[in-house]
Amino acid sequence: MHLRPFLKLLEEQEKLVRIKKEVSVDYEIANILYTLNEKPVIFEHVKGYPFSVFGGITSDRDIIAQGLGTTKERLLSKLVDSMRHPTVPEIIDTGPCQEVVVKNPNLGKLPLLSHLPGDGGRYATATVATIKDPQTGRNVSYHRLMERGANRFTARLIKGRQTRTTYDTSTGDLEMAVCIGNSVSVMIAASLGPPPGVDEFSIANTLFPMKMVKCKTKDLEVPAESEFVIEGRLTKEVDQEGPFVDLTETRDFERKEPVFVVDCITHRKDALYQALIPGRLEHKILMGMPKEPTIYDEVSKVASCKNVLVSMGGGSWLHGIVQIQKKNPDDGKKAIDAAFKGHKSMKHVVIIDDDVDMYNPNAVEWAIATRFQGGKDLVVKLDQPGSSLDPSSKQEEGKKALTDKVGVDATIPFDVDKSKYEIVKYQKVSLDDYLR
């Protein structure tokens, strides 16, 4: 579903809050979003700006599933299917995102948020960015942008990711367009990280049909329904980026990152600016959930994988739960190895049977308590490449973070009487006959 019809639907279903009181971009909007637990919200009146601000449309799996026309339980299969069967979107001559064209942009006119005291500056965070690589073609991803001047950001480009690789190998400026204010399908697709050469916008088009337009000043295409499009160049100049809060809710340190010079901004006449607060629900879901299809694909090569969850307790990045239908004695151990291959930053993974509710932490803990023996079901991998988001990992400048990884096989042992591992259930009765 496109963004605006989806916002309307959420409001009709009383799942969206509309705030009419004037609010400030200086911490106030971020604090309100946090207090609302990132429930979908529209701030109608933003002090000093003509644009409304919205947020929260990817803060909950049920809301994401609704935006993609499915359910939480079927969400993984829909994502896997879209990654396996991308469809190229139609290019049209013009779209709503180009109703207004600003050729001499001033970033001070955008309602960029100040999120927390101690941040390096005002940030754009709900930033779907697209580039073109000479060898692999279009790439779409997220890059946080810190305001550094009237037409300058610094862009956080992570080493090893496609945008950084293309940037590092380019001899001059690298064109980039940043779309702010997008549908759930575009936001989810941009976060998936498929293999090089697989176009995320084509994945988005499979999730929900969309059209695209060519940028006004760059050789790039963007979703026609976007609210804002920032057209610019990643230059070889570097400047301060950070400090800024990251996925684990700890503060990421200051770095030198590429300067993104903005040459043009296009937007709808009544554009809605999208906010996404760092380190919280939307940030975590958009980081972690897209790793579930890649884990699923790898585990499916060695076992019958039923479902995958990258859990919130691990910052939606470091911990995973994999549900399998066990058919062989070593399926659990094989699933552990495959899961780490499917998400190389994951630190701990738990393998469970398909009778355990993976969305219930108590049920997963119960499976560990009743189906796991540390002496034979624990897998420990020392000094493995991990994630710099883990503050306990071994980190050296210019090197991949190292961490100890742990896999827990909490599945029922093979060739045993399974009845003693199953929960005995009572039957509910009608209380009307007993309470009247």
The catalytic residue positions are 246
Beta bridge partners of 264: 231
Q: Report the distance separating Cα 266 and Cα 97, nearest Å.
A: 6
Integer angstrom CA distances of residue 212 from 32, 91, 139, 197, 221: 33, 5, 15, 19, 6
Supply the DSSP symbol for 6: H
394 phi, psi to nearest 5 deg: -85, 120
Supply the DSSP symbol for 112: P
Segment (H or E) for 374: helix 374-377
Task: Measure CA of the first residue to CA of the last residue in the chain; give whole Å.
Answer: 49
Place of tokens 């988001």: 389
CA 429 to chain centre: 43
Q: For the chain, percent helix, then strand, then coil, each to nearest 5? A: 30, 30, 40
Q: Report the distance separating Cα 391 and Cα 413, nearest Å.
A: 35
- State the Cα torsion 331-337-343-347 to the nearest 10°: 110
Q: Residues 3, 54: contact at Cβ < 8 Å? A: no
Q: Which amino acid is at 5?
A: P
Integer angstrom CA distances of residue 202 from 208, 221, 273, 342: 10, 12, 24, 22
Place of tokens 């979908």: 40
Place of tokens 């259930």: 425
Integer angstrom CA distances of residue 342 from 61, 187, 286, 303, 336: 21, 21, 17, 14, 10
> Which of helix, strand or coil describes residue 246?
coil
Give just the sign of the alpha carbon dihedral 250, 253, 254, 256: negative
Q: Residues 27, 114: contact at Cβ < 8 Å? A: yes
Q: Report the distance separating Cα 381 and Cα 188, nearest Å.
A: 31
